[in-house]
Amino acid sequence: MRLLQRRRRLPHRATARDPELLITTECGKMLVPPGEIVVIPQGFRFAVDLPDGPSRGYVSEIFGAHFQLPDLGPIGANGLASARDFLSPTAWYEQAHRPGYVIVQKYGGELFTATQDFSPFNVVAWHGNYVPYKYDLSKFCPFNTVLFDHADPSVNTVLTAPTDKPGVALLDFVIFPPRWLVAENTFRPPYYHRNCMSEFMGLIYGVYEAKADGFLPGGASLHSCMTPHGPDTKTYEATISKLGGPEANTPTRLSGTLAFMFESALIPRVCRWALESPSRDLDYYQCWIGLKSHFSHGKDGSDGPATTSSDDKDGEK
């Protein structure tokens, strides 16, 4: 997973942020404005041009599986990302003498270069379903809680690369778009938790609902497998103050925001460049300083231990 902010070609998957990207592939061209994603399958020649100047975005590269739409299960036929909204390029080719054209190839985890005197985009036509494609995130139809509790973020999965273990993904691409929050008497931001998946978060624009300060567009956070995390103190206290009051059941709309998450069953290894980056937030842990307990022990008149349903023993804590 990489954060990009350079004038160069982008590997595999990019979430555009500022100017448009012009991506040329062997199947044709794609113009990608901010708020769209691109998926380029393994083995394709492609080039990225920046017609409007420098751009920035996020990239994830996966091995061993292909992205697909998640199973909708009880949701049924409609909702989340629809197949009809994914666009593939129209066939286009370039027949030109291009002396000194450099091909960059990744093999075995290393980069190699080769020089040729013709364009690699001299493919006249294509057919089949192994093709590059793009998707406008504004077409995503989110599902959410309409009574109580906070839904697992997997309900916002746009694309998934599954493993052979049901319910565990090599990579889920999840977004947090503008939407309504309507849960009753519920702590609406993400709850405090740790789980078996590693979560790489990024903010494309706006403010993220669980971190009021310090998480800026273009930034990223990583919570690896079984690392506890949750809303910052400011968000927590502001939400707790509404519970029990007239605003507890008032629908609110999250607008002007778009965040995403790469969620994986694998544990990412952080490269030295990131660990030594001057942009690294060394005070990140301080966002949880000042958290206070709001438990009311014995409020129901009982000082005995609470009982737990056997169905809840394996749930996320």
Among 57, 42, 60, residue whose Cα is nearest residue 7: 57
For residue 308, pLDDT beyond 80: no
- Catalytic center residues: 150
CATH architecture type of domain 2-91+126-291: Sandwich (2.60)
* 208 labeled part of a ligand binding site: yes
What single-letter amino acid sits at 156?
A: N
When comparing pLDDT for 292 and 304, which is higher? 292
Determine what percent of the chain is predicted with pLDDT higher than 70: 88
* 193 labeled part of a ligand binding site: yes
Q: List 103's β-bridge partners, or say none.
A: 114
Q: Looking at residues 141-170, what average pLDDT do you find?
A: 92
Buried b (16+ CB within 10 A) or exposed e, 175-208: bbbebebbbeebbbbbeeebbebbbbbbbbebbb
- Confidence band, pLDDT 50/70/90 cuts, at residue 64: confident
Q: Looking at residues 290-297, what average pLDDT do you find?
A: 83
Out of 1-10, 51-60, 80-89, least confident range: 1-10
What pLDDT score was predicted for residue 16? Answer: 42
Q: Looking at residues 236-261, what average pLDDT do you find?
A: 89
The residue extents of the domains of the chain are 2-91+126-291
As a whole number of angstroms, the distance between CA 37 and CA 174 comes to 12
- Confidence band, pLDDT 50/70/90 cuts, at residue 12: very low
As a whole number of angstroms, the distance between CA 138 and CA 199 comes to 22
As a whole number of angstroms, the distance between CA 35 and CA 94 comes to 28
When comparing pLDDT for 296 and 2, which is higher? 296
Strands 157-162 and 133-136: unpaired
Q: Looking at residues 165-188, what average pLDDT do you find?
A: 92
Q: What are the pLDDT digits (tens) for 113-123?
A: 999 999 999 99
Q: What are the pLDDT digits (tens) for 16-41?
A: 445 789 999 999 999 999 899 999 99
Entry pTM: 0.86
* 229 labeled part of a ligand binding site: yes
Q: Looking at residues 222-250, what average pLDDT do you find?
A: 89
